[in-house]
Amino acid sequence: MTISNFDDLLQAARQQDQPQRLLMVFTCAELPDDCTPQQRREFEAGGGGALVPAMCADKSPDELQSFAALKLESGQFQSQWHVVFVSALSGANNTAPSSGDIEQTLDQMVESVKLGALDNMIAFDTSGSAILLQ
């Protein structure tokens, strides 16, 4: 299955044999203090900057109706985010992942975002479309 948007991921997670948790790291774009004038202009025009983790969440696929519902809920906690990184954590033996496993994986995801190691996550923009970051 091709995942081109968050709702595709939600559907795929619901179809898995084992219970799933969707782990999310919401990020905000910030401009580093040591930026160049060119980087500042690009940032002010809506491009560039560094993605900084701002908030984490985990949900079962059944707790989410759609990306629109997730965006509405996330706005209650973080007024403006730019990219959300998502990974699925699978349970075993028809048991959902433990809270300890969820917390550990979220911590690893946050560190991965800080390091720019994004291979094990799917990035979505604020419209719910999957994006490729360069």
Average pLDDT over every residue of 99-115 = 96
Q: What is the pLDDT of residue 78?
A: 65
The DSSP line for 71-83 is: HHHHTTT-S--SE
All structural domains of the chain with their residue ranges = 6-131
* Distance between CA atoms of residues 53 and 87, nearest Å: 15
118 pLDDT more than 80 = yes
Q: From the DSSP assignment, how many helices (H) and strands (E) are in the chain?
A: 4, 5
79 pLDDT more than 70 = no
| pLDDT grade for 2, boundaries at 50, 70 and 90 | confident
Average pLDDT over every residue of 70-76 = 87
Average pLDDT over every residue of 64-92 = 90
The one-letter amino acid code at 89 reads L
Q: What percent of the chain has pLDDT above 90?
A: 71
| pLDDT grade for 75, boundaries at 50, 70 and 90 | confident
